[in-house]
Amino acid sequence: MTDNENRGRILLSLTGWAPDVWLKQLAEAAPHRKTVVEPEGDSDPSIEYAVVWKPKPKVLGKLPRLKAIFSVGAGVDHVFSDPDLPDVPIVRVVSPDLTARMSEYVVWQVLDHHRLGPRYRQQQMDRIWEEDRDQPAASDITVGIMGLGELGTDAAAKLRCLGFKVSGWSRTAKSIEGVTCHAGNTGLGPFLATADIIVVLLPLTPDTREILNKELFAKMTRRGPLGAPILINAGRGGLQNEADILSALDAGQLSAVTLDVFHQEPLPADSPFWSHPKVTITPHSAAASMPASLIGPMVAQMDAHDRGEPFKNLVDRKAGY
């Protein structure tokens, strides 16, 4: 019996991504394990770990000796959508590379809106030269971050380095140096009343589904130096009510939005977001999950658990993230 056969196998179940590079990286990082893309039969006892992104429904329930599920993305709502999800630990990805990529995206979009990037691009298309437009300093702008986990905390630190005032809102109370923190239902109103640019990095749970809606937009400040606030959603598409976003833009409740995520992806060709003059679209590319930076830590956790060590970065099933 080979060493691969002595160790529990890994199931790789990805939707929307080609598996080849992941299989290659797993083979290099875990030569002592075999990785497969399909279980064998209706019950496969050889598979002990699953590496997934939007796995096929009911596949994970066919693995009686499954020890843990590893999500290759920052969000884990795609795992909970499985109707036959087995009661095993779910490990969320925490990667310095993914965190850095998300902070790069947040800083890029905050600066682009702050320095009137969409307006200048339109002026270039229209061949309009307009000088001396007033621009507030970064220190005059409050960036509010919804979601103060690993990604939100890092983005806040980088925005502070650029001189922005930063506030944050989370489900539970947090304390972050230099960030005005708000929490829970009572803290949401005060948070929205002061943020000029709102960055959304929340997990998708039953409590946060379509939290970006007309009731929330009505609570936002419209007295800041940018006028109506700017919304940047780099979290999950399910966080937003898309009809309410369009209505808020047309009514002047929002001055502009950047959306990296949507309810339906790819975004349909007939979506009004494509042509709306106040909308910036990116194709779910804020923070790509790169196998070279994720697979090593995953395999290390598998091996550590086989030695009797506890998993790190476990998902709280009750909270949903």
- Give, in degrees to the nearest 5, the angle at Cα 145 between 298 and 256: 115
- The whole-angstrom separation of Cα 67 and Cα 183 is 34
Q: Give the DSSP letter string of 227-249.
A: BS-EEEE-S-GGGB-HHHHHHHH
Both tokens assigned to 207 = 């409590």
Both tokens assigned to 169 = 């809102």
CB atoms closer than 10 angstroms to residue 130: 8
- Establish whether 32 is a catalytic residue: no
Torsion of CA 73, 66, 63, 8, to 10 degrees: 100
**Exactly one of 114, 182, 236, 305 is catalytic; which is it?**
236
Question: Half-sphere exposure of residue 291, counting CA atoms within 13 Å on the CB side?
Answer: 18
- Establish whether 236 is a catalytic residue: yes
- Give strand pairing partners of 259: 233, 281
**Exactly one of 7, 9, 284, 305 is catalytic; which is it?**
284
Q: Which residues are designated catalytic?
A: 236, 284
